[in-house]
C-alpha cells in the first residue's frame, strides 16, 4: 500500500542500523505510524535534519505489516520555536501519544488539537491549562473518556460546590472531605472547568493531581520519562 503526502508530525526517532532512523509519527488520517527512514542519517540524505519533532510535514510511505518505509518528506511550514518549559510540554505530549495510541488508528480531532497546542506553546499562553485539556482529549481518543457531567451511577449532575473521588474505571463519586482520602479529592468546580475547557488558576493544582493519577493508572503505574524534565 502506498500513502502519499499525508500531514504528519514526528513524535520520536532513534538510530537504526548504520545510517537509518526508526520513526514514530502521528498522521492526521492514519494515526500513529511506525516508519523506517532508510539512509536518513547519511551525509547526503535528502531528509537530513528534517525528520525531527514538531516540524509540520507531508509524509509519504509504503506500508507492509506494522512498519512502513518512508519514501518522501516535505516540510510545509517553519517548526514552532520551542525552548525551556514549552519544549518539555511538547515532548510530554509526544510521549503520551506514543504510550496511549495504537498504530494505524486515526484520531483527526486529536491531531488538530495537537497542532493547535504546538502553536499555543509558542505564544505565551498558560502552559498547565493547555496540558490538562490535551490530556483529556488524549484519554478520550484512547478509549478512556472522562465522565464530567454526572456522578457515577446516577443522573445527578456534577455540583460545583461538592467534592468527588474520581475512580478511573467508574467516574466521580461524591465524597465528604474529612473522611479520608482528602488528598485524592477533586472539586466539582474543577471537573466542570475541565469539561468546558475554561480552567481557572484555582483549579490547576487539583486537576494536575487528578490527571497524573488517571494517566498513571491507565499506564499500569509505569513512569513517564518526560515528566522528569520538569524537575
- Considering the domain architecture, whether residues 65 and 16 belong to the same structural domain is answered as yes
- Considering the domain architecture, whether residues 114 and 138 belong to the same structural domain is answered as yes
- Considering the domain architecture, whether residues 53 and 7 belong to the same structural domain is answered as yes
d(CA 80, CA 133): 20
- φ and ψ of 133, to 5 deg: -70, -40
The answer to the question of residue 154 being in a domain is: no
List Cβ<8 Å contacts ≥24 apart for 124-129: 127/85, 127/86, 127/89, 128/199, 128/204, 128/208, 129/199, 129/204
CATH code at position 18: 2.40.50.140
Res. 73 pLDDT band, cuts 50 70 90: very high
Q: What pTM value is reported for the model?
A: 0.93
- φ and ψ of 28, to 5 deg: -65, -40
The answer to the question of residue 153 being in a domain is: no
* Summary mean pLDDT of the chain: 93
The answer to the question of residue 119 being in a domain is: yes
**pLDDT score for 91:** 96
d(CA 90, CA 88): 5
pLDDT over threshold 70, residue 137:
yes
**pLDDT score for 9:** 98
How many domains is the chain partitioned into structurally?
3
Q: Which of 68-82, 147-161, 176-190 is predicted with the least confidence, judged by mean pLDDT?
A: 176-190
Return the ∠ at Cα 191 (arms to 148 and 89), rounded to 5°.
105
Terminal-residue alpha carbon distance, the chain:
44
Q: Which domain holds residue 186?
A: 163-218
* Contact assessment for residue 184 and residue 208, using Cβ atoms and an 8 Å cutoff: no
**pLDDT score for 49:** 87
The answer to the question of residue 158 being in a domain is: no
Res. 228 pLDDT band, cuts 50 70 90: confident
Amino acid at each position: 500500500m502506498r500513502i502519499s503526502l499525508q500531514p504528519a508530525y514526528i513524535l520520536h526517532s532513534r538510530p537504526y542500523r548504520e545510517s537509518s532512523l526508526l520513526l514514530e509519527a502521528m498522521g492526521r488520517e492514519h494515526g500513529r505510524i511506525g516508519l523506517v527512514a532508510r539512509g536518513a542519517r547519511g551525509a547526503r540524505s535528502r531528509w537530513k535534519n528534517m525528520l525531527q519533532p514538531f516540524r509540520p510535514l507531508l509524509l509519504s510511505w509504503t506500508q507492509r505489516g506494522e512498519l512502513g518505509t518512508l519514501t518522501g518528506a516535505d516540510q510545509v511550514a517553519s517548526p514552532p520555536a520551542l525552548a525551556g518549559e514549552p519544549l518539555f510540554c511538547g515532548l510530554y505530549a509526544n510521549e503520551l501519544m506514543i504510550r496511549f495510541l495504537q498504530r494505524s488508528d486515526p484520531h483527526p480531532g486529536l491531531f488538530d488539537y495537537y497542532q493547535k497546542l504546538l502553536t499555543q506553546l509558542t505564544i505565551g499562553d498558560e502552559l498547565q491549562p493547555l496540558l490538562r485539556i490535551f490530556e483529556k482529549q488524549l484519554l478520550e481518543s484512547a478509549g478512556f473518556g472522562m465522565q464530567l457531567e454526572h456522578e457515577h451511577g446516577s443522573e445527578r449532575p456534577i455540583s460545583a460546590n461538592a467534592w468527588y473521588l474520581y475512580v478511573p474505571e467508574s467516574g466521580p463519586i461524591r465524597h465528604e472531605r474529612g473522611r479520608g482520602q482528602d488528598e485524592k479529592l477533586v472539586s466539582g468546580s474543577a471537573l466542570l472547568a475541565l469539561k468546558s475547557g475554561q480552567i481557572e488558576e484555582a483549579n490547576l493544582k487539583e486537576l494536575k493531581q487528578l490527571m497524573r493519577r488517571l494517566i498513571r493508572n491507565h499506564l499500569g503505574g509505569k513512569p513517564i520519562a518526560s515528566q522528569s524534565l520538569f524537575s
